[in-house]
A and B are shown apart, each in its own frame.
Chain A
Amino acid sequence: MKEKFIRRVDLIFEKVECRDIIEKIMQMDPDAICQEVLDSDLKGRGGAGFPTGMKWRFASLEKDPVKYIVCNADEGEPGTFKDRQILDEVPGKVFCGMAIAARAVGSKSGYVYLRGEYKFLIPKLNKALDEFHRLADEFNLNFRIQIRLGSGAYICGEESALFESIEGKRGEPRNKPPYPTKSGLFNKPTAVNNVETLVHTVMIMKYGAERFKELGTKDSRGSKVFSISGDTPRAGIYELELGMSVHEFVEEFGDGDTKAVQVGGAAGFCVPRKKFEETIIGFEGVPTGGSMKLFNSTRSMYNVLHNYLDFFTEESCGQCTPCRVGCQQLLKGVEAVKRGEKNSRYLDELVKLAKTMKRASKCGLGQSVGNAFGSIVENFKEEIIY
């Protein structure tokens, strides 16, 4: 398998001596660590793209003596599988990233919330964790990490639902504010970061913010690990520089017949062929947590949409109305249009409904259902109707 990965950039999987990093951060002022990460313009790699340094700065400013670092390893977005590879290949770097966060924020305790299906990684992670704890002791870094397993709910990748799950409750998103940096896990200030984000901070500590900024664009600095799947001869995991257009991406990874690319998984956007050139993969264009799914002309975009809606209908936590009922309405709605029970104008009603879901839902799940729905309906209307 591994030979297949072409890495245009090789930072995430680069072997690093964690000892050196920890030694370095122990000599650094916590505020300087925040500043370095802020200077790098690193944005969260889970998909939402919140500036990591800012998150850490907020958490560091909280006065509470108890703070938590949480690594979100619940990788549940359909089509993403890069965190699994990172945890498999360089688990030590993930823990090291958490240590950097802990040092920056002032935390003594961290959690890795691991997707339930990744249970097989646990022996390997435990081994790396023992090593990490030994290293931490050696440098008098008072920071311990525990691993918690999810149980298969997509919603638990949402940070506040993830906290609820760790706390042993039903995984349902909380009202925001308060934000996690103020009141997160066990209602304590918490910095929660994606696996890949944490590894990036290790590299920033190693090579400096300036080096990180050499890659990417103004709005999307650095590189990103992509999980590429669908109609492509080269499915797999690739670390690529941010800022390419979908066109460039398809040139490299398409099968010559690519009709659309779903960027960012079920919660992301569908980019049709006619917009390949103008669409940038990154925070200035279509952001992604890593999932890139290519569809060629043999695929029915109705099926693609139906698949996503089916997924959301089941994976909505169900607590807020727009998401719980909205998903069902979108799903049943496109089915009714397809069967001819509702006329094509009903799709316009559904687009309006999707807009309400985007505005009125409680968390990111409900707010992003409209992304795939809107972009597929807008660009492939005939395929939905006929």
Chain B
Amino acid sequence: MVSLSINGLLVKVPEGTTILEAAKKLNFRIPTLCNHDDLCVAGNCRVCVVEQLGGKTLLAACAVPVNEGMQILTNSLKVRAARKHVIELLLSEHRADCTKCYKNGKCELQDLSNEFCVGDHLLLDLVNHKNFTIDMFSPSIQKDDSKCIRCQRCVRTCEQLQGVNALTVAYKGNKQKISTFAELSMGEVICTNCGQCVNRCPTGALVERTYLDEVWDAILDPEKHVVVQTAPAVRVGLGEELGLEAGNRVTGKMVAALKRLGFDSVLDTDFTADLTIMEEGTELLTRLKSVLVEKDQSVRLPMTTSCSPGWVKFIEHTYPEYLRHVSTCKSPQQMFGALAKTYYAQVRGLDPKDVVSVSIMPCTAKKYEAERPEMRSSGYKDVDVVLTTRELARMIKQAGVDFNKLKEDKYDSIMGVSTGAGVIFGATGGVMEAALRTAYEIVTGKEVPFKDLNILPVRGIEGVKMASVRIEGCKDEWKFLEGVELKCAVAHGLVNARTLMDGVKNGEVDVHFIEIMACPGGCLGGGGQPIPTNEEIRRKRAEAIYEEDMSLQYRKSHENPEIVSIYRDFLGEPLSHKSHELLHTHYTERERY
């Protein structure tokens, strides 16, 4: 332990603790900008400088570990002068058109400038004479360099959490900027659209592309029938944008709010999550049969999931030779879209051209996914508009709906019934768990051998998780699986996905089924979820997801009564011709930059 004094108060902390953390123990908040719980220390912004008695220079509290006997001042004259200067300097190279900014009210630089009253600052303006263009080439992410304060959180996110390196620092000195390979647009580079950078950008430099007006126009158009689907993770995140603590489940209130916004039908992506399990589970079993029994060399194992569009784009760029390992199932969002304009329209007696399908996602990559040319199997654009959790909260505010006072409501039908298996898609390991619950039962007729169906080994925040289930007591048609140890791997965050895929590539990882989610924590930590994010917040959201799972009547996808009826009335059986037409897709090899 190391003892030191901060502002005259003594504190003892373990060796290696930073001054910032030590001050926190004494309830002194030191302002930060470039620092982020999920990322390595940068020490770039210098907002967190503190004075060490007897020191020549000030110290960056986020970067400097404590020393025995250190005497630190966090609010001395020197510190105040320097901090104010740093904020003024940042503002001088930041286009501070706050009232017009998408991040107005949610900007960390704005908060600091408020705190330090630098409204009438003295320094020269360095930004407004420069010619900045806003990069709007990506359907998911908008990049505005005039708002950038070079804290490099985005660069560290892209490198350390995602291993993608789409964003990088270019040039030096006054020309330094955050850029991409060969300064290509965000729409042309290896970016997976995961939006983790958006979640961590302290200002309005990186934000999601927003499509609120398109949705309002559709809702307010009497000719249009607007259906909305809500992804599993949205219900455990939305509350945070509307004044609630992390970890609150707001499913019923969210449904009530969506109805008040004027959507014609409020439906659940969880339904198509269940459908994904039916299709993907069957695909896995079919692949196992082809490989183990028929010895078909053209069929690839391990099979990986395809629900996460960030992961799909990542593998298209990074491991194109493994594309045949990816399940051909569309993501739940896209399955829903394809069915909304076919099955749903048919049952409800609607002309599909009048159906507008909107999805609420915890994700920015879903915006890109909806734009993929192959996602038009209904004959129309399957999903017309994708909104993030944050955008939905904004709609609710715009409409003047008092969210927290709403009475809980229920999803409409059809395609509104879901199971616990569909809900846990929102957490890392969830797809795996849901798939095992169903596949095991298809093969053996018995429930998966875990207490309360909770497959704990695939849950949790570990980057790469391994699990296996021994299959015993197979039905006759699945006898070839008798005694087989079904081996699975789960990864979340693309840097972990890379570790896992490299393991597969060099033969160290030998499994049958792999679940990969692009974002840390799975969809609940998605790029469209409320800001801020950190491990603690993601843990609370995950707890809420598993609570929701336990609270539902059905917890296995194949028990969902609407799933039973869609196969009976419309699709036939999993992997049928119609399923293939509407619910399955193909992938594209992409360049590595």
**Residues of chain A having any CB pair with chain B under 8 Å:** 153, 155, 170, 172, 175, 177, 312-322, 324-329, 332-333, 336, 346, 349, 352-353, 355-356, 358-362, 367
A356 to B78, CA, bound (A): 8
If A177-B65, A356-B86, A362-B44 touch, whether A316 touches B60 (CB-CB below 8 Å) is no
**At the interface, yes or no: B219 with Cβ under 8 Å from chain A?**
no
A53 to B505, CA, bound (A): 50
Determine which of A322, A324, A367 lies in contact with B85 in the assembled complex, contact meaning CB atoms within 8 Å. A322
Q: How many A-B residue pairs lie within 8 Å, measured between CB atoms?
A: 117
A349 to B81, CA, bound (A): 12
If A322-B86, A329-B92, A356-B81 touch, whether A155 touches B172 (CB-CB below 8 Å) is yes
B58 in contact with A360 (CB, 8 Å): yes
**At the interface, yes or no: B469 with Cβ under 8 Å from chain A?**
no
- 17 new A-B contacts at CB < 8 Å, known A313-B173, A321-B46, A362-B44: A155-B172, A175-B64, A314-B172, A314-B173, A314-B174, A317-B173, A318-B171, A318-B174, A319-B152, A321-B90, A326-B85, A327-B174, A328-B93, A329-B123, A360-B57, A360-B82, A362-B60
B89 in contact with A329 (CB, 8 Å): yes
A–B Cβ pairs within 8 angstroms, 8 of them: A175-B41, A177-B65, A313-B174, A318-B173, A319-B44, A321-B90, A336-B124, A360-B86
Determine which of B45, B122, B126 lies in contact with A349 in the assembled complex, contact meaning CB atoms within 8 Å. B122
A368 shortest CB reach to chain B, Å: 11
A380 to B82, CA, bound (A): 26
A316 in contact with B86 (CB, 8 Å): no
Residue numbers in B under 8 Å from A314 (CB-CB): 172-175
Nearest 8 Cβ contacts at the A-B interface: A318-B176, A325-B89, A175-B63, A356-B85, A175-B43, A360-B82, A314-B173, A316-B173
Interface flags for B25-51 (1: CB within 8 Å of A; 0: not) read 000000000000000011111110100
**At the interface, yes or no: B220 with Cβ under 8 Å from chain A?**
no
Residue numbers in B under 8 Å from A324 (CB-CB): 150, 173-174, 176
Determine which of A317, A322, A349, A356 lies in contact with B172 in the assembled complex, contact meaning CB atoms within 8 Å. A317
A349 shortest CB reach to chain B, Å: 6
B44 in contact with A321 (CB, 8 Å): yes
**Residues of chain B having any CB pair with chain A under 8 Å:** 41-47, 49, 56-58, 60, 63-65, 78, 81-82, 85-86, 89-90, 92-93, 122-124, 126, 149-150, 152, 169, 171-176
Residue numbers in B under 8 Å from A352 (CB-CB): 81, 85
In the complex, the chain B residue whose C-beta lies closest to that of A349 is B122
Residue numbers in B under 8 Å from A358 (CB-CB): 57
Residue numbers in A under 8 Å from B78 (CB-CB): 359
Residue numbers in A under 8 Å from B169 (CB-CB): 170, 172, 318-319
A155 shortest CB reach to chain B, Å: 7
A175 shortest CB reach to chain B, Å: 4
A76 shortest CB reach to chain B, Å: 13
A312 to B173, CA, bound (A): 8
In the complex, the chain B residue whose C-beta lies closest to that of A171 is B172
B65 in contact with A360 (CB, 8 Å): no
B214 shortest CB reach to chain A, Å: 38
A interface SS class: helix
If A175-B60, A360-B82 touch, whether A326 touches B89 (CB-CB below 8 Å) is yes
Residue numbers in A under 8 Å from B65 (CB-CB): 177
Residue numbers in A under 8 Å from B123 (CB-CB): 329, 333, 353
Determine which of A320, A356, A367 lies in contact with B45 in the assembled complex, contact meaning CB atoms within 8 Å. A320
B134 shortest CB reach to chain A, Å: 21
B45 in contact with A360 (CB, 8 Å): no
Determine which of B56, B85, B126 lies in contact with A328 in the assembled complex, contact meaning CB atoms within 8 Å. B126
A352 to B444, CA, bound (A): 77
B391 shortest CB reach to chain A, Å: 31
Residue numbers in B under 8 Å from A353 (CB-CB): 85, 123
B2 shortest CB reach to chain A, Å: 13
Residue numbers in A under 8 Å from B43 (CB-CB): 175, 320, 362
Residue numbers in A under 8 Å from B173 (CB-CB): 312-318, 324, 327
In the complex, the chain B residue whose C-beta lies closest to that of A316 is B173
If A320-B45, A321-B86 touch, whether A177 touches B122 (CB-CB below 8 Å) is no
If A328-B126, A329-B92 touch, whether A320 touches B44 (CB-CB below 8 Å) is yes
A325 in contact with B126 (CB, 8 Å): yes
A328 to B59, CA, bound (A): 23
A319 to B45, CA, bound (A): 8
Residue numbers in B under 8 Å from A356 (CB-CB): 81-82, 85-86
In the complex, the chain A residue whose C-beta lies closest to that of B51 is A359
Residue numbers in A under 8 Å from B171 (CB-CB): 318
A367 to B42, CA, bound (A): 18
A318 to B171, CA, bound (A): 8
Residue numbers in B under 8 Å from A327 (CB-CB): 173-174
Determine which of A177, A317, A329 lies in contact with B64 in the assembled complex, contact meaning CB atoms within 8 Å. A177
A175 to B43, CA, bound (A): 7
In the complex, the chain A residue whose C-beta lies closest to that of B62 is A175
In the complex, the chain B residue whose C-beta lies closest to that of A350 is B123
B124 in contact with A362 (CB, 8 Å): no
A356 to B172, CA, bound (A): 21
A64 to B59, CA, bound (A): 28
Residue numbers in A under 8 Å from B47 (CB-CB): 321
In the complex, the chain B residue whose C-beta lies closest to that of A155 is B172
B171 shortest CB reach to chain A, Å: 7
If A317-B173, A317-B176, A318-B150 touch, whether A359 touches B49 (CB-CB below 8 Å) is yes
A340 shortest CB reach to chain B, Å: 14
B287 shortest CB reach to chain A, Å: 41
A332 shortest CB reach to chain B, Å: 5
Residue numbers in A under 8 Å from B41 (CB-CB): 175
In the complex, the chain A residue whose C-beta lies closest to that of B43 is A175
A225 to B150, CA, bound (A): 39
Residue numbers in A under 8 Å from B92 (CB-CB): 325, 329
If A319-B152, A320-B44 touch, whether A367 touches B57 (CB-CB below 8 Å) is yes
In the complex, the chain B residue whose C-beta lies closest to that of A173 is B43
Give the interface centre of A153, A312, A329, A359 by most chain B CB atoms within 10 Å: A359
A43 shortest CB reach to chain B, Å: 17
B81 in contact with A321 (CB, 8 Å): no
Residue numbers in A under 8 Å from B56 (CB-CB): 359
A259 to B49, CA, bound (A): 38
Residue numbers in B under 8 Å from A175 (CB-CB): 41, 43, 60, 63-64
A361 to B60, CA, bound (A): 9
A314 to B122, CA, bound (A): 23
B63 shortest CB reach to chain A, Å: 4
B385 shortest CB reach to chain A, Å: 38
In the complex, the chain A residue whose C-beta lies closest to that of B152 is A319
A44 to B123, CA, bound (A): 37
A349 to B149, CA, bound (A): 22
A332 to B82, CA, bound (A): 20
A326 to B126, CA, bound (A): 11
In the complex, the chain B residue whose C-beta lies closest to that of A346 is B122
If A322-B86, A333-B124, A360-B86 touch, whether A153 touches B46 (CB-CB below 8 Å) is no
A317 to B90, CA, bound (A): 16
